[in-house]
Amino acid sequence: MTTNNFVQYVKEKVQEHPVVYGAFALFFLVLVIGGTWKLISKPTPQANFMEIEEFNPSEERSSSEASFIYVDIKGEVQYPGVYQVDVDCRLLDLIDKAGGFTNKANDQQVNLAQKLTDQAMIVIPSIEQVTDNSSMAVEEVMIKTPDSQSGKININTAGIEELTTLSGIGEKKAQQIIDYREENGSFKAVDDLVNVSGIGQKTVEKLKAEVCI
């Protein structure tokens, strides 16, 4: 059978059964179009990478440590007790947290700008209270410090009478210690006494056995 005869044969069959061959042709066309669309729309495979942030324990510790401290306030405030405060908190902030002064508080003897430290104890004096160091600003007293329980004199709280009992410290130097304390805040170490006018390193070495902070 030649090509022309085959084409003529197909035409005759289509004319005899137009519905059947039409449906077959439509089905074939749908398959071709569907296959072509699937190939075109198929997404290009891409590597799926998940970004992993490296965990650094030291960074987490540094961001959380030393963010706050605990300070005990007693005496003439409305609500004495232990308070959690920011590390850069001043005595003024702590007194506000404690409800402010009572009407008996001797607020003229309080250094409101004093910076607080962890585990410190603050005692707000009353007007009637008579102490050896009534002329000095209230200073912080570190609790649970072994040296403070061994009979040594605390250079952050001692008055003139106590300071003059120390080796090489007369009334003038005692007053200079108090003045330095009021201007610069509490001593952080006994060696800081060298910053006081008239007190040298040799005197400080002698005082280490007699004083504490």
Share in percent of the chain as helix, strand, coil (round to 5): 45, 15, 45
pLDDT tens digits, 1-29: 565 665 566 566 656 666 666 666 666 66
Tokens encoding 92? 């003024």
The two structure tokens encoding residue 110: 């309080």
Digit-coded pLDDT (tens) for 33-68: 766 666 666 555 555 545 555 555 555 544 445 588
CATH of 145-213 given 1.10.150.320, 3.40.605.10, 3.30.379.10, 1.10.1270.20: 1.10.150.320
| 126, β-bridge pairs | 105
Residue 210, exposed/middle/buried by CB under 10 A (0-12, 13-18, 19+)? Answer: middle
Q: Compute CA distances 48 → 44, 45, 51, whole Å.
A: 12, 9, 10
pLDDT score recorded for residue 123:
87
Distance CA 78, CA 69 (A): 21
Q: Which residues contact 77 (CB under 8 A, 6 or more apart)?
A: 95, 98, 99, 100, 101, 102, 105, 124
Query: Identical fold at 61-143 and 145-213?
Result: no
- The structure's pTM equals 0.38
Give domain limits for the chain: 3-32, 61-143, 145-213
Assigned CATH for 61-143: 3.10.20
Is there a contact between 180 and 196 (Cβ–Cβ < 8 Å)? yes
